[in-house]
Amino acid sequence: MTGKELGEYSGASAGAPVSMQYPRYSCDNYTVWAVQMEWALEGARLWEAVDPGGDEFKKGASKYHLDRLALTAICSVVPTDLMQHLISKKSAKEVWDTLKTLNLGHERVREATLQTLQKKYENLEMGEEETLWMINNYY
């Protein structure tokens, strides 16, 4: 990975490494970034603030500091223009879920799109005047 693909987060506190490099987020690399970021947050023992999250990570709760560390790590590698969607979020889990929705869409929409594509695939027919060569060049 190059320097442009990594974001560095430095913060000394209990349970967090002094210096940790997190993968840089961009709209083009969400799927790979999400996996790499999950691994990095697991390694830093911060992933539980994102998944499952919950009341113990809310302000004033016992693990609130872990939520803040995870939130800081995620936001440190997100471009400034995307921050407008994240500013109002109250937890690392909310930020993570927002990024996921922005990039993958809602689950119901993805399932509907998948069903539509499956039906189109199942109903594909070759016309009487079409050849395999014509279809191959078309797709």
Which tens digit of pLDDT belongs to each residue from 106-124?
A: 667 767 778 888 888 888 7
Spatial separation of the C-alpha atoms in residues 95 and 75, rounded to whole Å:
8
Could you give the percent of the chain with pLDDT greater than 70?
81
Position 57, amino acid? F
Q: Burial of 77 by CB count in 10 Å (0-12 exposed, 13-18 middle, 19+ buried)? A: buried
Boundaries of every domain in the chain: 3-120
Q: What is the pLDDT of residues 50-66, one digit of tens each?
A: 888 777 877 877 888 89
* Closest C-alpha to 71, from 56, 86, 54, 55: 86
Q: Is the pLDDT of residue 70 over 50?
A: yes
Strand-pair partners of 19: 10
Q: What backbone phi and psi angles, to 5 degrees, belong to 135?
A: -70, -40
